[in-house]
């Protein structure tokens, strides 16, 4: 039991991302309201972004900017600096996520104009009546 | 960098996309040259690039002089150049037909549509040549987002289909990204060649298997591999006809190519196709994938049979064909891989022909339901001749190209001893025969309703812009059939050893 607790605490960032991801996944699959599905997708994406950001972090690490003195002396210690690459990657992923959300919201607007509702069941009912 | 030709192949459609969005809005007459010229230029340039690579060997293009593994590389080897030529060539031919159909279907919004169309082509070109795992994710999303937009432009039900596709497509892309994240934790690099160098050290770990699982499932969602295919039929049914002629032949095929590339160039085939992962003792992963592919081929073919509309039937055939290629790759022998790669080329051409014909019929008749196909051989003889030839290719009748890839796949299946896959291939060919002969029968024998014209219906072909590319593409089926031997020995035979 102690071992399990230690495992949970030592890797809590992974647990958080898995839990967030599952919440998002549930909303995407289980909810019938299209806006809720979209929110679920956003939570899902955010979970992955948090996962990436967390893997760059180091204990007691400083920001990845060299001071002039360090650079001249050549004493920068890589182990003391957090890894910026995952953060940079996630900037791109955030842009992608925002674009997808934007397209999805525009599509939702068209759906609402067409059917007057955003509940999937009601939309399908209206489609089958036509 | 003395030779920047490779980058112009990407840049031409991208710049044209901006030009179309700005100038196309002001005057819709400039759209056609702005779409056709850059795509044609890219197609010719990539053809010469393919010849050059075959002659003098593959090379890597370092974008912006940032050396790998820190910068982004583009890889030009025989396979990626073949795919590049396929993507640019098919989209060039398809755009001839997309122009008139879009002008009719989306009046006033042509410039928006073709902006997305060109960006989609850029994304696909980037996907086939990128040598960076994260870059691949971004390009995957570029293609997907432009597809979402194009699908949603259709009238009626498409917005809902597009929304469902957005949700599923994002899940697929996120899975892929997550897999890449695990790989990055393990290796600290995103460059594919660098990954391949470091991978043998970590091959036994559970995290590595997890990474592979996520990447694979992500790509399967994108390629609509059974049973993750549900988004595809709904999204393609009502999408604008101009979109289906380009996206249907290319999107799934490029995803299959990505799976091949990642398995062979990153994850290492020895590890991927090993009989025992330690997870399941009874069944190997390879066995499971082959069973799923076999079941998928048969189920999708049967569902295609139950459709009463030409386009709906074709959409399910795409899903069945994905099963062919995935199965061929997972046969894990040279014959299977050759068959799968050859089928990527052939199926792209066949799907192009089918959807060009479908689009032409829709343009001339106004519908593609089976009832409206009656008497079509008399009304649209050229279109139906090309459609008939494609139908024979889908059944696998020699000397059309469909026969040769199927032949390799069946030989690979027999060689690997996977008779269920061979059985599925044969069954699907038979079902295809039934499917297409049913369409032929309706279009040829069933007389149209007694109208004012009687039996002598007037010729009513779609415009030249749609018919000529269709006939050309159908002729390419024969060319690819007769040239299959050369293609296998000169290109694919060279490409497979270079993959690893």
CA distance B93 to B110: 18
Indicate whether B161 belongs to any domain. no
**Residue B59, strand partner residues:** B76
Residues of chain A in contact with residue B116, where contact means CB-CB under 8 angstroms, are none
Q: How far is A44 from chain B (nearest CA, A)?
A: 8
Reported ipTM: 0.91
Q: Do the Cβ atoms of B144 and A19 come closer than 8 Å?
A: no
Task: State the Cα angle at B347 between B230 and B140, rounded to 5°.
Answer: 55
The count of CB pairs under 8 A between chains A and B is 76
| Separation CA B355–CA B315 (nearest Å) | 9
pLDDT of residue B1: 41
Q: Which residues of B touch A55 (CB under 8 A)?
A: 181, 184-185
Residue B200 lies in a domain: no
At A103 the pLDDT is 92
Enumerate long-range contacts of B267-270, CB under 8 Å, 24 or more apart: B267/B199, B267/B212, B267/B215, B268/B196, B268/B199, B268/B200, B268/B203, B269/B332, B269/B500
Find the residue in A nearest to B162 (Cα): A107
Cβ–Cβ gap A41/B170 under 8 Å: yes
CB pair distance less than 8 Å for B181 and A52 = yes
Chain A residues with CB inside 8 Å of B159's CB?
A: 107-108, 110-111, 114
Cα gap B306→B317, rounded to integer Å: 12
What's the pLDDT at B60?
A: 84
User: Between A44, A93, A111, which is nearest B160 by CB?
Assistant: A111
Interchain pair B160, A127: CB under 8 A: yes
Residue of B156, B174, B184 with shortest CB distance to A44: B174
Residue B163: list chain A partners with CB under 8 A: 34, 37, 104, 107-108, 111
| Residue located via tokens 């990527």 | B344
Binary contact (A28, B167; C-beta < 8 A): yes
Provide the token pair at B42.
């890219």
pLDDT the model gives residue B449: 57
The secondary structure element, H or E, covering residue B222 is helix B206-223
- Cβ–Cβ of A45/B170 closer than 8 Å? yes
Q: Give Cα separations from B232 to B162, B219, B226 (angstroms).
A: 10, 14, 10
**CB spacing of B166 vs A107 below 8 angstroms:** yes
Question: What's the rounded Cα separation, in Å, for the pair A92 and B138?
Answer: 8
CA of A1 to nearest chain B CA: how many angstroms apart? 22
Report the gap between the CA of B193 and the closest CA in chain A (Å).
18
Please list the rounded mean pLDDT of every run of 10 residues in chain B (500 residues). Answer: 75 92 86 90 91 86 77 87 93 91 85 92 93 91 91 80 90 92 88 86 82 91 87 85 90 92 87 66 76 92 90 90 91 88 92 92 85 82 89 88 90 88 91 90 70 57 85 90 85 81
Cβ–Cβ below 8 Å for B171 and A44: yes
Residues B154 and B299: their CA atoms lie apart, in Å, by 28
SS3 B75: strand
Specify if B51 maps to a domain. no
Nearest residue on chain B to A94, judged by CA atoms?
B138
Whether B200 and B268 have beta carbons less than 8 Å apart is answered as: yes
Q: What is the rounded CA–CA span in Å between residue B409 and residue B430?
A: 16
Q: What does the angle CA B321 – CA B326 – CA B331 come to, to the nearest 5 degrees?
A: 125
Kindly report the CA angle at A55 between A54 and A61, in degrees rounded to 5?
A: 80
Cβ distance B174 to A45 less than 8 Å, yes or no, reads yes
| Bridge partner list, B62 | B73
Look at residue B467 and tell me if it is in a domain: yes
| Assigned domain for B56 exists | no
Element (H, E) at B61: strand B59-62
What gap in Å lies between CA B438 and CA B36, rounded to an integer?
36
What pLDDT, in 10s, does the model give residues A14-31?
Answer: 888 889 999 999 998 888
- Give me the domains of chain A, ranges plus CATH numbers: 2-129 (1.10.287.3510)
DSSP designation for A33: B
Q: Rounded distance, CA B500 to CA B493, Å? A: 13
B75 — phi, psi (to 5°)? -105, 125
Residue A41 pLDDT greater than 90, yes or no: yes
Structural domain boundaries, residue B332? 282-500
Question: How far B331 CA lies from chain A's nearest CA (Å)?
Answer: 33
Token look-up 């696998």 returns B396
- For chain A, the farthest-separated pair of C-alpha atoms sits apart, in whole angstroms, at 76
**Across the strands, what pairs with B309?**
B369
Tally of domains in chain B: 1
User: What residues of chain A have any CB closer than 8 angstroms to a CB in chain B?
Assistant: 25, 28, 34, 37-38, 41, 44-45, 48, 51-52, 55, 86, 89, 92-93, 96, 99-100, 103-104, 106-108, 110-111, 114, 120, 123, 127
User: What pLDDT is attached to residue B345?
Assistant: 92
Query: Which of the residues B69, B165, B166 would you substitute to probe the A interface, choosing the one with the greatest number of A C-beta atoms within 10 Å?
Result: B166
Calpha distance B72→B191 (Å, rounded): 7
Question: Is residue B290 one of the residues assigned to a domain?
Answer: yes
Residue B137 lies in a domain: no
Provide CB contacts within 8 A for B331, sequence distance 6+: B290, B337, B409, B412, B413, B415, B416, B418, B421
> Does residue B382 sit within a domain?
yes
Q: What is the mean pLDDT of chain A?
A: 85
The pLDDT, as a whole number, for residue B465 is: 84
Strand-pairing partners, residue B130, are: B74
Q: What is the pLDDT of residues A92-122, one digit of tens each?
A: 999 999 999 999 999 999 889 888 888 888 8
Give the residue with greater pLDDT, B60 vs A41.
A41
Q: How far, in Å, CA of B85 to CA of B124, rounded?
A: 11
Residue B398 tokens, joined: 């020699």
Which residue, among A18, A92, A96, A129, would best test binding to B if mutated, counting the most B CBs under 10 Å from its CB? A96
Does pLDDT of A123 surpass 80? yes
Residues of B with CB under 8 A from a CB of A: 134, 137-138, 141, 144-145, 148-149, 152, 156-157, 159-160, 162-163, 166-167, 170-171, 173-174, 177-178, 181, 184-185, 190
Min Cα separation B186/chain A (Å): 11
Give the residue carrying structure tokens 């398995």: B263
């Amino acid at each position: 039991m102690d071992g399990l607790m230690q495992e949970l605490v030592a890797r809590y960032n992974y647990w958080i991302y898995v839990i967030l991801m599952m919440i998002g996944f549930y909303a995407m699959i289980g909810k019938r309201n299209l806006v809720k599905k979209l929110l679920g997708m956003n939570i899902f994406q955010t979970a992955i972004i948090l996962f990436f950001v967390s893997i760059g972090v180091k204990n007691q690490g400083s920001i990845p900017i060299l001071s002039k003195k360090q650079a001249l002396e050549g004493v920068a210690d890589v182990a003391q600096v957090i890894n910026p690459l995952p953060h940079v990657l996630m900037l791109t992923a955030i842009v992608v996520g925002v674009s997808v959300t934007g397209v999805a919201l525009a599509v939702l607007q068209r759906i609402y104009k067409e059917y007057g509702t955003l509940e999937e069941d009601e939309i399908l009912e209206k489609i089958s009546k036509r | 960098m003395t030779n920047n030709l490779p980058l112009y192949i990407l840049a031409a459609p991208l710049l044209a996309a901006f030009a179309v969005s700005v100038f196309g809005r002001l005057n819709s007459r400039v759209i056609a040259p702005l779409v056709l010229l850059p795509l044609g230029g890219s197609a010719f340039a990539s053809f010469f690039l393919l010849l050059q690579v075959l002659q003098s060997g593959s090379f890597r293009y370092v974008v912006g002089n940032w050396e790998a593994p820190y910068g982004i590389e583009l890889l030009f080897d025989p396979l990626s150049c073949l795919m590049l030529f396929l993507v640019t060539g098919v989209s060039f031919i398809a755009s001839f037909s997309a122009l008139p159909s879009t002008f009719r279907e989306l009046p006033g919004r042509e410039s928006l549509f073709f902006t997305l169309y060109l960006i989609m082509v850029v994304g696909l070109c980037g996907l086939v040549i990128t040598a960076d795992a994260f870059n691949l994710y971004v390009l995957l999303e570029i293609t997907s987002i432009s597809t979402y937009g194009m699908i949603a432009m259709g009238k009626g039900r498409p917005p809902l289909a597009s929304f469902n596709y957005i949700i599923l497509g994002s899940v697929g892309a996120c899975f892929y990204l997550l897999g890449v994240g695990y790989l990055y934790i393990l290796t600290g690099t995103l460059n594919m060649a660098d990954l391949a160098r470091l991978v043998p050290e970590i091959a036994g770990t559970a995290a590595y298997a997890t990474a592979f699982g996520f990447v694979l499932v992500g790509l399967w969602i994108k390629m609509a591999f059974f049973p993750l295919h549900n988004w595809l039929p709904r999204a393609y049914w009502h999408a604008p006809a101009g979109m289906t002629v380009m996206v249907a032949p290319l999107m799934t095929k490029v995803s299959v190519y990505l799976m091949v590339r990642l398995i062979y160039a990153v994850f290492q085939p020895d590890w991927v196709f090993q009989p025992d992962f330690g997870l399941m003792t009874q069944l190997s992963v390879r066995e499971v994938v082959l069973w799923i592919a076999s079941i998928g081929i048969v189920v999708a073919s049967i569902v295609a049979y139950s459709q009463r509309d030409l386009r709906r039937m074709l959409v399910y055939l795409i899903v069945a064909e994905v099963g062919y290629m995935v199965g061929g790759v997972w046969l894990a022998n040279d014959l299977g891989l050759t068959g799968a790669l050859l089928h990527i080329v052939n199926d792209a051409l066949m799907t192009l022909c089918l959807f060009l014909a479908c689009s032409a019929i829709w343009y001339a008749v106004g519908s593609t339901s089976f009832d409206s196909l009656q008497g079509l051989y008399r009304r649209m003889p050229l279109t139906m001749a090309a459609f008939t030839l494609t139908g024979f290719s889908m059944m696998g009748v020699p000397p059309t190209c469909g026969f040769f890839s199927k032949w390799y796949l069946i030989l690979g299946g027999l060689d690997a001893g996977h008779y269920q896959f061979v059985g599925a291939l044969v069954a699907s060919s038979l079902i295809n025969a039934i499917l297409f002969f049913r369409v032929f029968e309706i279009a040829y024998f069933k007389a149209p309703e007694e109208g004012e014209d009687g039996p002598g219906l007037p010729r009513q072909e779609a415009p030249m812009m749609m018919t000529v590319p269709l006939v050309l593409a159908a002729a390419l089926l024969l060319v690819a059939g007769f040239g299959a031997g050369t293609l296998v020995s000169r290109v694919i035979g060279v490409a497979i050893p270079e993959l690893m």
